[in-house]
Every structure is written in structure tokens, then in C-alpha cells.
Chain A
Amino acid sequence: MRTALQAAIAIAFAAVGACAHYPATPGLLEYAPSVGYRFANTPPTSANSDSLMVILTFSGGGTRAAALSTGVLRELDRTAVPGEPGRTLLDEVDIISSVSGGSFTAAYFALHGREGLDRFETEFLDWNAQAALKRDLLAPMRIIRLLSRNYSRIDHAAATWDQRLFGDATFGDLIGRRPLIIINAADMSLGATFSFTQEQFDPLCANLADFPLSRAVAASSAFPGLLSPLTLENHGDDCGFEAPGWVENALEDADIGGDRYRLARHLLTYRDTDVRPFVHLLDGGLADNIGLRPILRSLTSTSGDWSVLRMINNGQVRRVVVIVVNAKTDTRSNVDLREQPPGIKRVLQTVVSTPLGNYSRESVQRLREVSDDFLRELTATPSTALPEVHFHAIEVSFDGLDDVEERRYFETLPTSFRLPPDVVDQLTEVGGRLLREAEEFQALLAQF
């Protein structure tokens, strides 16, 4: 009798669990290129001008990255805009592009503004998020849901982030407010960046305005093995989407504009709903661990929803500041001290992290080349021939620390969602200091 009852309960639980499903991807009724969470719908204000374009990128790296980027935000808030009393550089932040751990800071700041910075430290940076995830996993309803094939650990993580940090907020709650955030995940099939922007959602006929921030952050930080991929439904042809003008031209340019050609090919894959009825997303760090690629695109192309280059051409932007906050570590560690070859865990870590580190270095180098291009213009042409722009590329990373021991200390901090509060304090302090002492940041302040 008792066994039968237990079996009946188990069957009931399994049945309820089988019904659990990740939240549906909100559909777009009608494609409208001027509607939704787009830069054009976050207009300049008296506090935040277009003429000074401040762009931040926050890298991955768990709580280490989230704390370092928080330190940078605080330093910007301590830095007055010269000649404009009462305004700080934090007021001028226009865009934050983020990955993984950095996405927590970006999303929380976009939602709560400077008033939320103190709260972010207590609610997230000093929080043992890993333990909370494990604890919540044992909650009866979560266990039941996880029995379903359509509800996985990533959905569980998003629910935990919502409960603690985002309170069911969606991207629609951010429309009209700067900074615009670009939370980046990686498209598992393409191995390419998938940005949570309406422009990226358009070919899927999906509505980002109704999409929860927590799920974007969860996808951005879905490190393989720890969290499962996040699934989006592709609503395909339901909204009358038309490919933007640049796509047709780009498809003819396989041998010229490498990036543009690749992006056009990628965009068209979302239009084939027979082949891609779903899109699976992983940690954004797998495609670009510093969140710089969408920014480079905006700085070098007049295509796309948000193009800084177009704004420069039209005379709207006179000064561009790009601050790359890179919480990279040095994973050389001590493998070479031993004769025995490293184990499989260590090898896999190297396989994942080494190419990403190399790619990040290349992205920063590309940013410096863009900066050089603008500098060359200033010296090569009469000022009337081209709308003039001043460019500042600043990297905040532990490489900027002169003290070898201090650098080694920060570079060997673990990537996790659990760091002691005193380490969090050290990271926020060093983030601010690295920005303050960066040569290019000082040049920016001197040039105002």
C-alpha cells in the first residue's frame, strides 16, 4: 500500500515536472525597425549628450569581473565633467556591452542607475551566488520542474537571478534610458556573438522588450558544463521581417569585408526556421570575452541599428571614449613545475581559455588601430573636409599594475560567483585606481 502511494506520488511529480517549460520567447507581431529596445529609442538628455560618446565594455570572469567593472563605474562617478558642475562621467555613459560576469553589473546598473551601486555590492558582489544556486536547486518546486526536458539548470539560474536581482524586469523597462546595454551570449551553432538587442531579435521575429533581463544575463554567463544552454524559440516568418539594406551588398563581399560578409550569412541562418526552429545560447565569453566586437562594428561601419561611425559622419559625436574593463587572469599557473603532463581538467581549461585570451588581445589591438585611424585623420586633412572626432581607447586590466606581486595576486583570483567581501573591496578599489591612473584617461580629462 505504502509502495503504491509512493509510486503514485512519484508519478504525479514526474507528470507535473514534465509540464514545466522554459518561458516562451516573446513574439514580435509586426517588424518595425524603429520600435523596441534600440539606441535610437534612448535619446540624449540634458545630462547625457550625444557629442561625448562614452562606451564601456565589461568582460567575463565571474564576481571578479563584476567587482572590477563596479570599481570603474564608481570612479567615473567620482570624475566631474570638466566645466560642467554637478555632472560626472557616469552621467555620460551611453553604451555598456558586457559578457558573463560583467553582464550582472551592466544589467543591474542599467536598471537601478547610480543609486543601485551600493545595493549591487551587498546583493550580488558579497553574495555567495553559487551556494544560492545549489540551495534553490533543492527547493521542491525547482526539483519537480527540473524533471522536465524543457526546463533546465539555466532556467533555474535565471529564476534565482530574478528573485534576488532583477525582480522580473524586462528590456522594455529600460527603453528610453541610457546607457543602452548590449548583453552578449554566444550562438552555439554559429560560434558567434549573439547580442541581446532588438536588431538581433528582429530576424527571429522575437520581441526583446518583453524578454526578462535575468534570462539574458543567465545566457551570457552560461558557462559550458556548469549551466545548460539557454533556448530561444525562432518565430521565423511571423512578423514580415525584411533584411536591412546592407545584407544584400555584404553577401557579394566574401573577399572584401570579412566581418560584414560573415554577419550577413549568420543573419540569414535565423530566417530558415526549418533548420533553426530554436537557437541555443551559451556564455558570451566563448565568442568574445570582453564584449568589444559589437562596439568595434559600431565604430567601423555605417550599417546596423546603432552606428557610432554614422553619428560621427553626421557631426553628432565629437569625442568617443571606449573603456575596456578586462578582468582576465593569467592561467599559466604552475603546470611547468611538474614533470607529469597536466590532467584533463587543466587541459580543457587551457583549450577554452587560451584562444579566448588571444582573441581578446586581437580585439583590443583592433580598437587601437581604429583610434589610430581617427588620429591620422586629424593630422592628414583640413578640419573642414571631415567631421572631426577625438578618440580615446582605454583598457582597464591587471596588466596596468606596476607592482608584480599585486598583479600576480589579482591575475590568479578564481573565476567564480563567490569571493570573500574583502577581495571584492580590493577589486572595486583596483578597478577605480587602474582607470584613474590610465595615461589615456588622464589625457581625456586634460583635453576637455
Chain B
Amino acid sequence: MEYIRINTPDPRRVFINGRLSGSTNALIRVEPGTHTIVLGNPEEDAPDPAAEERRAVVRGTTVDRPLVVDFE
């Protein structure tokens, strides 16, 4: 199990590889490897089409030492 934390000023939904996979400012469990991260609005079930897209390689993390990605 790998862990990632997406930080945003306000709470947002997190879509990983196109699927709703958690929320910002909290830990999210993922499998090891490359992931595409897009944010969504809090009540929406789909990613925000205008939102920035990030790719992150997640490996070697632990629950105490997650990969941290900051979005503005």
C-alpha cells in the first residue's frame, strides 16, 4: 500500500486516473506506480474539466511518510 496527500487551500475531491479516489488534505491509499491526479468540486462526481492535471510517481511511501502534492 502507498499513501499520497493532496494539499489544497479549500477541500476538493480527488480523481486519480479518472476515478473519484478520496479528498484533499487527507491521506489517500493508492497502489505503487504512476498516477494522474485531477481535482473536482466538492459535490461533483466527475473531475473539473478545467482543473490542472498532475502526474505523480508513488513508491516507497508509508502511512507516516506519504507523498505530498501541493495544488494552489
Contact = CB atoms under 8 A, between A and B. Distances in A.
A302 B23 CA distance: 13
Interface string B1-38: 10000000000000011111111001111111111100
A385 B36 CA distance: 22
Q: Categorize the interface residue count of chain A.
A: 20 to 34
Given A249-B33, A249-B36, A377-B63, A386 B21 contact: no
Nearest to B60: A256
A395 to B, nearest CB: 21
A310 B33 contact: no
Chain A contact residues: helix, strand, loop or mixed: helix
Q: Categorize the interface residue count of chain B.
A: 20 to 34
A239 interface: no
A342 interface: no
B64 A302 contact: no
B22 A313 contact: yes
Contact of B32 (A256, A314, A385): A256
B31 A300 contact: yes
Interface in A37-93: none
B50 interface: no
B36 to A, nearest CB: 6
A253 B17 contact: no
A245 B29 contact: no
Contacts of A250: 33-34
A244 B18 contact: yes
A250 B64 CA distance: 25
Given A370-B1, A380-B63, A385-B26, A260 B33 contact: yes
A300 B64 CA distance: 18
Given A249-B55, A314-B20, A257 B33 contact: yes
Given A245-B36, A253-B33, A377-B63, 7 more contacts: A249-B35, A300-B31, A301-B30, A302-B16, A302-B30, A303-B19, A310-B22
